[in-house]
Amino acid sequence: MLTTHFVAISFYFCVLLQDGNSLRFVDEKNQRPELQLILNDGIVQGKKMFTEQLGEPYYGYLGIPYAKPPVGNLRFSNPVQNEKWSGVLQATHEGNTCTQDTEIIFHIGSEDCLYVNVFTKQSPSVAIKSLQPVTVFIYGGGWKFGQSNQTVYGPDYLLEQDVIVVTFNYRVGVFGFLSTDDMSSPGNYGLKDQIEVLKWIRRNIRNFGGDPNSVTIFGESAGAASVSYLMLAPKAKGLFHRAISFSGSSLCPWALSRNPLQITYAVATAAGVIEPRTKNLVKRLRKLDYDFLHFAERSAMLLDSINPMNGLSFAPTIEPDHPDAVLSRGPLEMLKEASLGSVPFITGFNSLEGAVFQYILDFLRPLFLSYEMPQRLIPSDLNIPTFHPDEITVGNKIKNFYFGLDPLAVANKTQILHFISDNQFLKGIIEEAKLRGKKAPTYLYQFSYQGDLGHFLDNQLRQVNGVAHSEELWYVFKNEDQRASHKNDIAVRKMFVKILSNFVKTGNPTPIKDLELQNLVWPEMLAGNGDLNFLDIDKKLSVKQNPRKSAMEFWNEIYKDYGRRPYTTY
């Protein structure tokens, strides 16, 4: 579902067909000691840059390996800590993008791709540094594509708030999430890459002037769901101290692959590998050329019968119970455990997440004919058995709530987009916030500002009223294709960045009344009286209660009256 994410378009052609080891070393005549840092793995030489708004100097250290290249026998394996190097590593260019299939061209990137970038205002020539809080960004892209290129996720605005910014690449698609549902390939390698980079940060960030005891992870879409999974992962405990999720949760229906072995066999069959024993199957898949494995991945997805409304094919999955498992039970089960701790948390959504599909919806209407059977609208995590009488009852309730008596093929576009938004995003995001709010300070937002930043067509061409999936990103990052020209865009961006940086520094998004934030105080989500507080982010900030109240009450009643526990997502 999220593989049509339009953000990918802006960087596809910047990273075509990178391959080979990207490590470069500085020869003696080009060494600049004032730009060098000594890390646990060796010496790096970065570069000096300047922020866009204020022209403040900062230093970038790009393309630093945080794990061994996951090639050969390390394909479909946990990341392995990187080896030390000799010489001075030239850390002035991003490392390879992780190899990924795309909708535009066949594939891009390289398997040798586990690289991290660090941006800091702390001068490397200053021996004793005042430690600054650290932000670690996890990109989205449906676990199918994505990368950390600075032209897309420029750190300028966060750096101007005196925080350190870390970005990195992690494995996606078949390379990051192939699972055999057993120990032959337990899966979740992309999430394990994320944990490995957090370990690297723990070991090295002090050298950049970062505080290893003040680390905030944040992500968008699949990156936000990754943040949610990391908060559940035993191996990630203690590696971060706050978390922020934009438009995603481990409880969103798309965020869990429910039939990983079926998908793995589909890929193998497309590659001409017929092997019933999973151990031998994985050995043979490791020997395939990576571009042929991409071909098999794409072929398998064309034939895939998995319903995208109920889980992406290559996504986190429940692993067999073993010491390195990220997820050994359903995320909702784990979230409900009283013993499972949490950290201060900001989570939220855009006012009409599904609007990202507004321009292609008319082309998809013929596909809606299959959804005229109302049971097709039922989330799989309700666990209603096929052909059970509840199927028709629940399907009709969902259809009537969102579409009335009209066939879906002629339904109002806004109705369809609200159904996508509520079912795929809001109910999971809000349910996670409610559960986490019982354990740690939790803040919920809705991003409602409809500006030019983030909107990939002229604002006048919006077909529906609402902020689409991923639009909020460019009010945090500098994107070379998304430049603010309107004063309101700039004002909202400054407010949003200030709110987030306050949280990164203190665990509270509005620790004091601040004129720049309209003297507003953002309360925690759980009000104690049954209402759910949330911050509505627009030109004027405002605190409201109970987002999409009638729709969320509808879904809560459906799960209460017809669901069969245990649920995996929500």
User: pLDDT tens for residues 325-351?
Assistant: 999 999 999 998 866 778 999 999 999
- Kindly list the catalytic residues: 221, 353, 469
| pLDDT category of residue 225 using cuts at 50, 70 and 90 | very high
User: pLDDT tens for residues 534-547?
Assistant: 999 999 999 999 99
Tell me how far apart the alpha carbons of residues 325 and 187 are, in angstroms, rounded to a whole number: 9
Tell me how far apart the alpha carbons of residues 543 and 520 are, in angstroms, rounded to a whole number: 8
pLDDT at residue 5 in the model: 42
For residue 562, what is the DSSP state?
Answer: H
User: pLDDT tens for residues 31-87?
Assistant: 999 999 999 999 999 999 999 888 999 999 999 999 999 999 999 999 999 999 999
Tell me how far apart the alpha carbons of residues 170 and 11 are, in angstroms, rounded to a whole number: 16
Tell me how far apart the alpha carbons of residues 97 and 506 are, in angstroms, rounded to a whole number: 33
Tell me how far apart the alpha carbons of residues 117 and 61 are, in angstroms, rounded to a whole number: 6
User: pLDDT tens for residues 299-324?
Assistant: 888 765 445 566 899 999 999 999 99
Residue 176: name the closest of 234, 124, 249, 99 by CA.
99
Cβ pair 133, 505 in contact under 8 A? yes
Please give the C-alpha separations between residue 119 and each of 58, 60, 134, 150, 368, in angstroms, as whole numbers: 7, 5, 10, 10, 46
Tell me the domains of the chain and their CATH numbers: 27-335 (3.40.50.1820), 350-562 (3.40.50.1820)
Enter the pTM of the model. 0.94
For residue 210, what is the DSSP state?
Answer: E
| pLDDT category of residue 458 using cuts at 50, 70 and 90 | low
Give the pLDDT mean for 496-521.
97
